[in-house]
Amino acid sequence: MKKTSILSIGVILIALLTLFWAGTPANAGPIKLSYANFPPAPTFPCVQMERWKKEVERRTKGKVSIDTFPGGTLLGAKNMMDGVIAGTADIGNLCMAYQPGRFLVTNATSLPLGIPNSLVGSLVLWDLYKKYRPKAFSKVKVLTMFTTAPSNIMSKIPIKTLEDIRGVPIRASGGAAQILKAWNANPVGMPMPQTPEALQKGVVKGLFSSLEVMKDFKFAELCRYVTVTDAVVYPFAVVMNMDKWNSLPKDVQEVMEGLGPQQAAWTGVYMDNHVEESIAWSKKNYGVEVIKLSAAEKASWDRMLEPITNNWVKDVSGKGLPGAQIVEDIRAFTKMYAGQ
Ligand code: 3IO
């Protein structure tokens, strides 16, 4: 054979190989997905993220590989939803309370309706989402949802009465801020990751959220008092870019679909256990005092919350939502999961 024909066979071979590799990206390694989260890695939204990542990688037998970005390194608390819609991250975890007007239906889980813990809250929220399929999520694929445990007051000063809380600047967002307002506190809205600095600088004298943050953000160091209110939960959603979702193979989609309610339950159980651990840790390491309201006092606090739900129903009914039905559903789902 002539030198030139050997050469041209070589060129053709290389061209064919190049075409083959370019045409089959699946053979180039696993499908890579980015997952953005806003708070620091040790906190519960990121713990559930790492668990979801591991489960997906295991259940797809390595077909999918997920890169996690905790601490707002890819998207922050308030641009999470829009960042995922735009494709800045493939997946994002968001707290719906930070955009209360945007997620009206699902934020109804932070009305004072007596959700007793994170497991029940998470299952109720998932069912509510499945029933109503709110328009707010039409541009994304919802992978899972969950809630925190009920909120309690963590503060630098002891709060035992409605007089004690009057005018006190306390950090909260969304539905939880409405509760503080009803108690005549001075709610200051900001996402959780900004709270350590606000507490340090004295911009706020406390916060209103689930108690696992006493340990995970070390708030116990600054807030030596907890007032037990067991009030509203904060709802969260994990969403995926719609084009990215549509590009995934069917078997991968099935794994993620199956994980939806399981991840909600897993996160609920993790949160409820972690709250207990955090309270014990805070007492032991910082001598945190846990204040229980007297029965008479508790009755007054509860009474002040009564108008909130009816006002919400009126408000959203004006916006074309079946407010009364949503409230009834949350109550019924709560009873079912709480075994009442
Ligand atoms: C929360 C948000 C980020 C990390 C840990 C957390 N524990 C409870 C919340 C709820 C929340 O979003 C908030 O702002 O209180």
Q: What is the pLDDT of residues 131-177, one digit of tens each?
A: 999 999 999 999 999 999 999 999 999 999 999 999 999 999 999 99
Which residues lie across from 145 on neighbouring strands? Answer: 237
What integer best gives the mean pLDDT of the chain?
Answer: 94
Domain that holds residue 219: 152-232+276-309
* Number of the ligand 1 atom closest to the C-alpha atom of 176: 15
Question: Residue 323 falls within a domain, yes or no?
Answer: no
- Residue 105 is encoded by which pair of tokens? 């239906």
3-state secondary structure of 155: strand
Tell me the per-residue pLDDT of 221-277, one tens digit each, with 9 for 90 and over.
999 999 999 999 999 999 999 999 999 999 999 999 999 999 999 999 999 999 999
- Residues 181, 165: Cα–Cα separation, whole Å: 10
261 and 298 part of one domain: no
Backbone angles phi and psi of 188, in degrees to 5: -115, 120
Q: Is 110 in the pocket of ligand 1 (CB under 6 A)?
A: no
Q: In this structure, what CATH number is given to the domain that contains residue 172?
A: 3.40.190.170
163 and 85 part of one domain: no
CA 278 to chain centre: 19
97 and 163 part of one domain: no
Which residues lie across from 186 on neighbouring strands? Answer: 169
3-state secondary structure of 267: helix
Question: Residue 300 falls within a domain, yes or no?
Answer: yes
Number of domains in the chain: 2
Q: Is 209 in the pocket of ligand 1 (CB under 6 A)?
A: yes
166 and 101 part of one domain: no
H/E run at residue 119: helix 118-132
List C-alpha distances in Å: 275 to 16, 152, 280. 59, 11, 9
225 and 239 part of one domain: no
Question: Residue 253 falls within a domain, yes or no?
Answer: yes
206 and 303 part of one domain: yes
Question: Residue 337 falls within a domain, yes or no?
Answer: no
| Residue nearest (by alpha carbon) to ligand 1 atom 15 | 209
Does the pTM exceed 0.95?
A: no
Question: Residue 71 falls within a domain, yes or no?
Answer: yes
208 and 263 part of one domain: no
88 and 114 part of one domain: yes
- Alpha-helical (H) ranges within 287-318 are 295-303, 306-317
